[in-house]
Amino acid sequence: MIVEIGGTVGDIEGLPFLEAIRQMRKDVGRDNVLYIHVTLLPHIGATGEVKTKPTQHSVMELRRVGITADVIVCRADHPISDEIREKVALFADVDLEAVIPMHTVETIYEVPLVLEEAGLGNYLVTRLGLEARKPAEVGFVGAVGARGRRALAPRCLWHRGAGRLWLPRSRGQDQRGRLCP
């Protein structure tokens, strides 16, 4: 089971959900639950630095509610060096292999590929004691890679007021039969 809790760690609105996943580890067993914390590593343009302090603070906030992250996925618009990964691993108290760089990609379809390339799948299999299998990548990687990574991105947006409709690139018309540019 995968449970995603969005929002900012520390916001009062998310506390009941954080408490629920904290209790889940006790209910199903420590070896059957793994917490992945997705965090942003902002880039300061003037200095060219990638800052880890926001990640350190969000890890501390999670600990305050009783959750210790097992994996840290570091979102960034710029490359994440091994030095930055080591710093995050040290302050988050996780293995270096558990600090996964996740650079900004053109389409959401690339995210699983980037995470797999970074070793997240192997790490999860090892930590959770799962049977290791080769990823079923033939169709997905082929679809994303063969036509170019932008090929699967939504290509047409129809909107009226707040309503929006995204259509996959493989379709040339929207629901009303209008051609997409």
CATH code, domain carrying 109: 3.40.50.300
User: Rounded mean pLDDT of 129-139?
Assistant: 72
Cα distance between residue 125 and residue 36, in whole Å: 14
Task: Quote the domain boundaries for residue 167.
Answer: 154-181
Sequence-separated contacts (24+) of 57-63 with Cβ below 8 Å: 58/8, 58/9, 58/10, 59/91, 59/92, 61/9, 61/10, 62/9, 62/18, 62/35, 62/37
| Range from 31-40, 56-65, 109-118, 152-161 carrying the lowest mean pLDDT | 152-161
Examine the domain organization and report whether 89 and 173 are in the same domain.
no
The answer to whether residue 136 scores a pLDDT higher than 80 is no
Residues 55 and 116 in one domain: yes
pLDDT of amino acid 179 = 46
| More confident of the two residues 84 and 171 | 84
In sequence order, the 6+-apart residues with CB closer than 8 A to the CB of 127 are 34, 70
In the chain, what percentage of residues exceed pLDDT 70? 71
Average of per-residue pLDDT values in the chain: 79
- Pair (42, 85) in one structural domain: yes
Does a structural domain hold residue 7?
Answer: no
Q: What is the pLDDT of residue 140?
A: 60
Does any domain span residue 115? yes
Two structure tokens written together for 104: 């900004």
| Number of compact structural domains in the chain | 2
The per-residue pLDDT for 158 is: 43
Residues 77 and 161 in one domain: no
